[in-house]
């Protein structure tokens, strides 16, 4: 079972490591969950350690919610 790490962010080395693990789970598509709303969605931070690409992903379908 795939599980994202919700403690991921870019504030510490440990949190960046969690964001890199989330990056590995990220689907190459936008979130298509029904009734998606950023205010009530279960989302987690991701970051590609090589390129720095980062954003938020849906914890249900692993789709992209927001990029930065």
Query: How many domains does the chain divide into?
Result: 1
Q: Model confidence at 17, in pLDDT bands (50, 70, 90)?
A: very high
In a domain, 11, yes or no: yes
H or E element: which one contains 10?
Answer: none
- Domain span at residue 44 reads 1-30+40-68
Q: E-strand spans in the chain?
A: 43-47, 54-58, 64-67
pTM of the model: 0.85
Question: In this model, does residue 56 exceed pLDDT 70?
Answer: yes
In a domain, 46, yes or no: yes
pLDDT given for residue 36 in this prediction: 64
In a domain, 35, yes or no: no
Distance CA 42, CA 38 (A): 8
Give the pLDDT confidence of 18-50 residue by residue, as tens digits.
999 999 999 989 998 876 666 556 899 999 999
């Amino acid at each position: 079972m795939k599980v994202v790490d919700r403690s991921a962010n870019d504030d510490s080395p440990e949190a960046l490591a969690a964001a890199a693990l989330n990056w590995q789970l990220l689907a190459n598509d936008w979130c298509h969950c029904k009734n998606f709303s950023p205010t009530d969605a279960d989302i987690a931070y991701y970051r590609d350690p090589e390129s720095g690409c980062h954003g938020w992903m849906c914890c249900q379908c692993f789709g992209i919610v927001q990029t930065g």
